[in-house]
Structure 1
């Protein structure tokens, strides 16, 4: 897929969200991800057009459930979902947290090239990171277990904050173990056949 076709596809996908004005930054992020991925193995997805749906659009799908002005993406990896969300929500402040040095270097380059003044990048493990103030939304696409996510990130939440845990299929067994109230939002992403769910957990 050439650059023009990729941009057309991206704009088509962004239109229902009203995010078309951010297409230039999102396409630049895609190209940076594709380039760095060849050397640093940032994602298992190798085709840039697949990255558009599986990474960009899947990240943006949780936009309606974001809460507050201070948000943290825990275990952000290649910046997912943090970078697409920060691009499309410039009025909110995002911390992108990861312990992997190569991924942190990539994120610093993305921040520089996209001029993301609302992004702070931190190299640390979630359980060791001690911010000066808590976050309104703690986002994770990386944790295998909801219970583990809560245990390692509870100290990051502000009062009345929420967790947003991105999942594939409905995590029935994990939900049984939760001691918190929660809501599950299942959603679809055009171009992705797999089930997608977002678990909203109250603190």
Structure 2
């Protein structure tokens, strides 16, 4: 089946969260503020967070993410608290290979919401959706070996640590070689 014909909802829900595609004007403002609020933590792990983006740059990034969603190249969701409507973070099905079919899950959280299980809940929903609705046969989570908070998520969700690739990548700031942990779950 051609991936463009897949019926992928623009919103998913969990007990506490709403995950929706970045398609509303003004999403750039709220995401940019979360990047600013969490800049110190994000900078340690994510190449995109080495410099603070402008609101305009964030808005363009989100609009491109929506285009990629429609083209079925990746599926980025913004995460919101159901009760307060606070923006919590993002999670994505990305690096899609439709021939297998497989993908990777990426995520980041606004620091002020970490430690509440929100990202674990969101990633669990996205992994279940990917395996059961999109019918991915393999979903990976990759993270730097020293990023213990990020590693805790696949470990809590039953992903298998397949291995650690030594000197596999550069640190977010490009200053040193890092090891990458590979986790996966299969159908």
For normalisation by structure 1, the TM-score amounts to 0.33
> Which one has the bigger helix percentage?
1
> Which one has the bigger strand percentage?
2
For normalisation by structure 2, the TM-score amounts to 0.35
